[in-house]
Structure 1
Amino acid sequence: MMKNFKHIFSVILIFCSLLAGAAHFPQDKKIPNEINVGLATGDAKVLSSYFNQNVELVVLDNDNVYSKAQAQQIVTNFFNKFPPLEKNAFSIIHDSGKENAQYVIGKLKTEKGDFRVYFLLKQNDGKQYIHQLRIEQQ
């Protein structure tokens, strides 16, 4: 019960903080294609190249703030257990944001079921980094 409350609260907090500002995420700041490719192909190495030095990660039973290397290992284990179905297994359902932050909600199709993917991107020194990643079974 407490874990569900924590999840709902953090998702609401992300949405509210990103939607509160009047300025929207600049249209020229698209989601890096490598992130989509990493998720769609199950390539944790490509995906982790966009991880911030510390990442809030919620993947199955892992729910904590991890270093970039730890987060890559957890995501690698996830993809080993749940390989994506096809090359285009990840699709974006919704994305929005403001100034230097953007959130994305997507769907990942794997051999063992579908997952909802949430991630929060923040820009730093001209590059976008994943600060939060959630992969939850639908």
Structure 2
Amino acid sequence: MKNHNKFSSVLLLFAGICSIMAVSLTSLEDIATAIRNNDAKQLASYFDTMVEVKIMDKEGAYSKAQAEQIVKDFFAKNPVKNFVIKHDGPSGGNQAHYAIGALTSGATKYRTYIYMKKKGDTFIIQELSIENE
């Protein structure tokens, strides 16, 4: 009986970790797709109510609507040709996730950094940075 309880506990833990990873990977792929499609509105749907943004000369804590406008302006001036996530993983346990990506616009390359925290069953963007490589 003890072995059955241990097995059940391990199985439950594994299922929980897999579900957390699946949620973060789904959110992350949706975020990457929004960036590839120059879709500021879709990207902003993953923003928290306040977002730390660093995009070119704009840096600070912005409301969701302000951050969306900053991203929209960036996409208008720098249409995304390609976006690839280079690294991602958990940060500080399973309650946060980060992603580092490479964004190409014309001949210019940018390094992106996205930091997300878990709220409910989804990950919400808390920080977004797009800088020249």
TM-score bracket for this pair, using the shorter chain length: 0.7 to 0.9
Q: Does the 8 Å contact 1:48/1:71 carry over to 2?
A: yes
Kindly provide the amino acid, as one letter, of the partner of residue 129 in structure 2: R
Q: TM-score scaled to structure 1, two decimals?
A: 0.76
**Identity level (%):** 36
- In proportion to residue count, which structure has more helix? 2
Q: For residues 9-88 of structure 1, what are the structure 2 equivalents within 5 Å?
A: 26-29=20-23, 30-32=25-27, 33-85=29-81
Q: Which runs of 5+ in 2 are unaligned?
A: 1-16
Q: Does the 8 Å contact 1:82/1:112 carry over to 2?
A: no
| CA distance in 1 between partners of 2:116 and 2:45 (Å) | 13
Q: Name the residue aligned to 1:92.
A: 85
Q: TM-score scaled to structure 2, two decimals?
A: 0.79
Structure 1 stretches (4+) deviating beyond 6 angstroms? Answer: none
The Cα of 1:128 is off from its aligned counterpart by 1.1
| CA distance in 1 between partners of 2:37 and 2:107 (Å) | 15
| CA distance in 1 between partners of 2:111 and 2:26 (Å) | 17
Match for 1:115 among 102, 110, 115?
A: 110
Kindly provide the amino acid, as one letter, of the partner of residue 21 in structure 2: Q
Q: Name the larger-Rg structure.
A: 2
Q: Name the residue aligned to 1:12.
A: none
* CA RMSD after TM alignment: 1.5
Q: Which runs of 5+ in 1 are unaligned?
A: 1-23
| CA distance in 2 between partners of 1:65 and 1:79 (Å) | 19
Q: Tell me how many residue pairs correspond in the alignment.
A: 112
The Cα of 1:122 is off from its aligned counterpart by 0.7
Kindly provide the amino acid, as one letter, of the partner of residue 56 in structure 1: E
Kindly provide the amino acid, as one letter, of the partner of residue 87 in structure 2: H
Q: Does the 8 Å contact 1:122/1:128 carry over to 2?
A: yes
